[in-house]
C-alpha cells in the first residue's frame, strides 16, 4: 500500500453570538439560589479567560445546538463555492457535549448539511481529545487512500449544562436540609471555565495550488486510564472508593436532586497529574522521533487555565524539551476553554493570521482530564 500525504487545506470556526466578558457571565448562566457564586472571582483570577462565547441569550435560552454550530462551521469552509461541499467523502465530528445521547453527534451535524451527499460519518466521543480523535480518523482515512477529501470538526455546547437551572433542585434540597446552599466547588468551578463554539478542518490528499496548506506529519495519542482514576465526568457521580456510578444506576429523583448531568472535576487529582503525565509522553515522542525543540516554531497546547502554563513550561524544561514562551500560541483568554474545539481554534487563528511561512512547524498538545488522555500532532506549513 502506498500511503498518501495528508493536508489541511482550509480552516473555519463558528462562535455563537457576541463574546461575553467576565462581569456578564452570571447574566447568561444565572444565579444559583439567587446568590452570586463565591468561587467565580477566584477561578477567573487563575484561569486568565477574559471573554468566552455562549449559545445562549441573556435570559439563558438556547440560540444554537451543538450540531447546528458545527454545521455552520463546515459550511463556512465552502462559502466561496458552496457546490464543493458535495466533494466531502467523510465527516468526522468530535465533541464531549452532544445535544443528545442518540443519534450520534456526527449524524446530527450531517442532518444540518442537506447540501452534502450521502457519506461516511463518524463521531468520536470523550472530553477534550474527542476533536483530535476526529482529526486522526480523517487523517488515517486519507492517508490509507480510503477517501481523498474529508472534514474533521471539534465543537462544544457546554452552556446548557452550566446554567443555574441545572443546579436549582440540588440547591433547594440543600436549603431544606439546612446544609450549605452553595453548590460544591467541583461543580461550580467548571461554570467559569467553559465556552461554546465549533471549528472545522478541510482535509485532502492534495495541497492547495495557491496559498498555504498544513501538511499533517503525524498524530499520536495515549491514555493512562489503566492507572489513573476518573477526574472529569458528567452523567455520573464519583463514589468514596474512586469508582464512577453512572446515571443509569440513579433514580430519576436522584438525578434531579444531585445535578448528576452537570460537569464535574476532581481538582486535586487534576492538579497533581495533568501536566506530569503529558510531559512524560512528549519526552518519549521527541526521543523516538529524533526531534528537538528547535524543530518547533509554534507550540500550541490546549490549556484549560493560564494556571497550567508555567507548570507545562517548567516540566518540559526539566525533561529537556522546553519551548520558549515566544514560540507559544494560545488563545484561551479570548475564546475560553472550548474543549474538543480548542486545538482547531488555535490552528484556525494562526492559519488565517498571515504569520505563517513555508517550512514552519506547529506542535499541538491536547490533554484530557476525563481519565488522563493526551493527543499530540505535528503540522508543517507548505
Cβ 328 vs Cβ 353: under 8 Å: no
Can you read off the three cell numbers belonging to residue 186?
Answer: 467541583
β-bridge pairing 298-301 and 7-14: unpaired
Quote the pLDDT of residue 170. 56
pLDDT digit string (tens) for 1-39? 899 999 999 999 999 999 999 999 999 999 987 888 888
Quote the pLDDT of residue 267. 85
Cβ 344 vs Cβ 302: under 8 Å: no
Instruction: Name the DSSP class of 293.
Output: G
- Among the listed residues 328, 186, 335, 313, the one whose alpha carbon sits nearest the alpha carbon of residue 258: 186
Quote the pLDDT of residue 8. 99
In the sheet that holds 149-156, the strands lie side by side as 120-122, 90-95, 149-156, 197-204, 7-14, 214-223, 373-381, 361-368, 298-301
End-to-end Cα, the chain, rounded Å: 25
Question: In DSSP terms, which residues pair with 221 in a beta bridge?
Answer: 375
Can you read off the three cell numbers belonging to residue 54?
Answer: 455562549
Kindly report the number of other CB atoms within 10 A of residue 180's CB atom.
Answer: 9
Query: What domains can you pick out in the chain, each with its CATH number?
Result: 7-209 (3.40.47.10), 216-229+265-381 (3.40.47.10)
Instruction: Name the DSSP class of 296.
Output: -
Quote the pLDDT of residue 64. 98
* Rg for the chain, CA atoms, rounded: 21
Distances 37 to 41, 189, 256 between C-alpha atoms, Å: 8, 10, 21
Kindly report the number of other CB atoms within 10 A of residue 172's CB atom.
Answer: 13
Quote the pLDDT of residue 356. 98
Distances 91 to 14, 131, 149 between C-alpha atoms, Å: 17, 12, 9
> Which stretches of the chain drop beneath a pLDDT of 50?
171, 174-175, 177, 181-182
Quote the pLDDT of residue 174. 46
Quote the pLDDT of residue 168. 64
Position of cell 490509507?
Answer: 144
Residues 6+ apart with CB under 8 A from 162: 29, 190, 191, 194, 262, 263
In this prediction the pTM is 0.95
Spatial separation of the C-alpha atoms in residues 14 and 16, rounded to whole Å: 6
Quote the pLDDT of residue 177. 47
Q: Mean pLDDT score of the chain, rounded to an integer? A: 92
* DSSP run (H or E) holding 364: strand 361-368
Amino acid at each position: 500500500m502506498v500511503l498518501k500525504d495528508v493536508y489541511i487545506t482550509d480552516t473555519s470556526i463558528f462562535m455563537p453570538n457576541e463574546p461575553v466578558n467576565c462581569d456578564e457571565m452570571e447574566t447568561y448562566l444565572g444565579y444559583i439560589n439567587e446568590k452570586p457564586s463565591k468561587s467565580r472571582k477566584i477561578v477567573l483570577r487563575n484561569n486568565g479567560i477574559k471573554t468566552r462565547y455562549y449559545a445562549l441569550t441573556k435570559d439563558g435560552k438556547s440560540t444554537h445546538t451543538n450540531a447546528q454550530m458545527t454545521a455552520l462551521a463546515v459550511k463556512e469552509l465552502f462559502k466561496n463555492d458552496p457546490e464543493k461541499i458535495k466533494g466531502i467523502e467523510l465527516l468526522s465530528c468530535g465533541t464531549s457535549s452532544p445535544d443528545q445521547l442518540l443519534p450520534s453527534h456526527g449524524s446530527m451535524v450531517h442532518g444540518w448539511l442537506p447540501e452534502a451527499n450521502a457519506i461516511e460519518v463518524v463521531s468520536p466521543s470523550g472530553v477534550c481529545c474527542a476533536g483530535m480523535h476526529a482529526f486522526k480518523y480523517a487523517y488515517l482515512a486519507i492517508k490509507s487512500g480510503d477517501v481523498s477529501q474529508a472534514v474533521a470538526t471539534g465543537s462544544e455546547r457546554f452552556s446548557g449544562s452550566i446554567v443555574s437551572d441545572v443546579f436549582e433542585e440540588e440547591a433547594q434540597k440543600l436549603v431544606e436540609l439546612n446544609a450549605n446552599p452553595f453548590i460544591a466547588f467541583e461543580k461550580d468551578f467548571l461554570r467559569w471555565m467553559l465556552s461554546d463554539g465549533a471549528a472545522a478542518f478541510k482535509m485532502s490528499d492534495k495541497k492547495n495550488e495557491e496559498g498555504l496548506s498544513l501538511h499533517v506529519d503525524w498524530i499520536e495519542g495515549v491514555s493512562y486510564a489503566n492507572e489513573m482514576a476518573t477526574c472529569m465526568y458528567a452523567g455520573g457521580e464519583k463514589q468514596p472508593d474512586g469508582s464512577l456510578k453512572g446515571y443509569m444506576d440513579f433514580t430519576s429523583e436522584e438525578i434531579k436532586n444531585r445535578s448528576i448531568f452537570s460537569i464535574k472535576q476532581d481538582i486535586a487529582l487534576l492538579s497533581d497529574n495533568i501536566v506530569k503525565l503529558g510531559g512524560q509522553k512528549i519526552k518519549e515522542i521527541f526521543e523516538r522521533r529524533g526531534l528537538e525543540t528547535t524543530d518547533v516554531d509554534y507550540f500550541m497546547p490546549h490549556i484549560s487555565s493560564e494556571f497550567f502554563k508555567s507548570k507545562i513550561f517548567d516540566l518540559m524544561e526539566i525533561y529537556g524539551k522546553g519551548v520558549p514562551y515566544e514560540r507559544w500560541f494560545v488563545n484561551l483568554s479570548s475564546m475560553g476553554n472550548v474543549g474538543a474545539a480548542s486545538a482547531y481554534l488555535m490552528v484556525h487563528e494562526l492559519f488565517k493570521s498571515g504569520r505563517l511561512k513555508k517550512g514552519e512547524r506547529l506542535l499541538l498538545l491536547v490533554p484530557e482530564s476525563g481519565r488522563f488522555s493526551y493527543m499530540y500532532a505535528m503540522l508543517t506549513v507548505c
